[in-house]
Chains A and B, each alone.
Chain A
């Protein structure tokens, strides 16, 4: 099965030191080498987000994320795994999960 691991960050993650940051980035990169990890991306911060809605055929743009919350979607992995246990085991190794954030594991609709 395929899963998306949606990585949610918390405000405290923004305040970590440079040393800590580089070690955390290293961890994220190392996860790409895990079997089954098909893809993954880190997103720029929510302050760079633009939200688009269409009303009466007209695109309306607004500054900021769709859901304006303390927690933010910071990136994702796309994972091929045998079952939910395998997917959650990898999710538990995503640094955000132990740093006040969380990883939401969502099965992908396969057609």
Chain B
């Protein structure tokens, strides 16, 4: 809905405000008058009306030509007696390419996409990037102002620049996915939907297929990852609760990515995820792929995952040796991984201290409960509040 409005009015702030107003009107009217037959269409039309009111009040806007053109189109559409949900084109692809335009700073691209398409609050985006809410708010308004003032187009880029614009888009989609996987299930599904749309638009891009494969296979284990709201680690998961269809679809995308010659980070991660679905697990091969991924990305976070695989293949001491010395003090999974390896090495005091540090950094409730459980097993008393 926001994408549709941004597409028609070319103005983020206007579209956002109008959307908020529409929801406010709905909150007041629906309980009184009953829900309209097509709530989505109702909201979009109401928001559009609000936006047009605003434009009329402020007809001296610098971009009035474009805005007034949009107004005519919008009015023409509203004159139609029946508003069908399908009459609103899905303009999220255009929007995501606008949000990820290289004329915006990368951090702004990511934040903007999460705000406009992922539906995250400014606070949540800030948390994902370890940035204060106020800073994130300023970053978002600066980015929106630049889109408007600099004339950043609202369109899918032409073929010759499409691959260049893709990397940031994929990074953003994967980030939305990860935010969803930490507990916000709806966002994971949204990221997969965006990934599927991208895969349809760009069927020959191995990285798009790779990312889609990665998300599908990871997400297929979602139900098994939680039992009664508690986290279940991979070896203990009930495989009958894996979404086999999604794993098959993911493997198909992975095959396609490999057939297209893909060897980028998403493709390797998808291959790792696919290996995790095998029985028994080939930890040596998984560790080798993490090694390739670590060399490709230079990321210490990948080293943490590699350490987990090495620990499974060669024992916890070998894994711990890789983890120690990584500079990831502010990273929850560094501490929880270290803690788990220390626990297996029967070093309970150090393990408990590391779990406690992970708990300080953890936000998602199931993860917090998991960590609290571990701390209690190790004879500690876990604080229950955040």
Query: Which residues of A line the B interface, CB within 8 A?
Result: 1, 3, 81-85, 87-88, 105, 107, 109-111
Contacts and interface: CB of A to CB of B under 8 A. Distances in A.
A104 to B, nearest CB: 12
A105 B102 CA distance: 13
Interface in B117-167: 149-153, 157, 161
B62 A110 contact: yes
A105 B150 CA distance: 9
A84 B62 contact: no
Contact of B150 (A82, A84, A109, A111): A84
A82 B66 CA distance: 11
Contacts of A107: 149-151
A82 B149 contact: no
A36 to B, nearest CB: 13
Nearest to B161: A85
B237 to A, nearest CB: 47
Determine the main DSSP class of B at the interface with A: loop
Contacts of B149: 107
27 contacts: A1-B151, A3-B151, A81-B151, A82-B151, A82-B153, A83-B151, A83-B152, A83-B153, A84-B101, A84-B103, A84-B150, A84-B151, A84-B152, A84-B153, A85-B152, A85-B153, A85-B157, A85-B161, A87-B151, A88-B103, A105-B150, A107-B149, A107-B150, A107-B151, A109-B62, A110-B62, A111-B62
Contacts of A83: 151-153
Contacts of B150: 84, 105, 107
Given A3-B151, A109-B62, A111-B62, 20 more contacts: A81-B151, A82-B151, A82-B153, A83-B151, A83-B152, A83-B153, A84-B103, A84-B150, A84-B151, A84-B152, A84-B153, A85-B152, A85-B153, A85-B161, A87-B151, A88-B103, A105-B150, A107-B149, A107-B151, A110-B62
A109 B150 CA distance: 10
Contacts of B152: 83-85
Q: Among B101, B150, B151, B157, which residue has the most Cβ atoms of chain A within 10 A?
A: B151
Most chain B beta-carbon neighbours within 10 Å: one of A85, A105, A107, A111 = A85
Nearest to B66: A1
A88 B152 CA distance: 10
Contacts of A3: 151
A81 B150 CA distance: 11
Nearest to A3: B151
A64 to B, nearest CB: 31
Nearest to B148: A107
Contacts of A81: 151
A39 to B, nearest CB: 19
Interface in B64-115: 101, 103
Interface string B295-310: 0000000000000000
A110 to B, nearest CB: 6
A107 B146 CA distance: 10
A93 B376 CA distance: 65
B365 to A, nearest CB: 43
A81 B151 CA distance: 9
A88 B101 CA distance: 12
A109 B62 CA distance: 8
Most chain A beta-carbon neighbours within 10 Å: one of B103, B150, B157: B150
A62 B139 CA distance: 38
6 closest A-B pairs by beta carbon, nearest first, are A83-B153, A1-B151, A83-B151, A84-B151, A84-B152, A84-B150
Contacts of B153: 82-85
Contacts of A82: 151, 153
Most chain B CB inside 10 Å of its own CB: which residue of A3, A84, A110, A111: A84
A110 B148 CA distance: 13
A82 B151 CA distance: 8
Interface in B38-68: 62
Interface string B156-186: 0100010000000000000000000000000
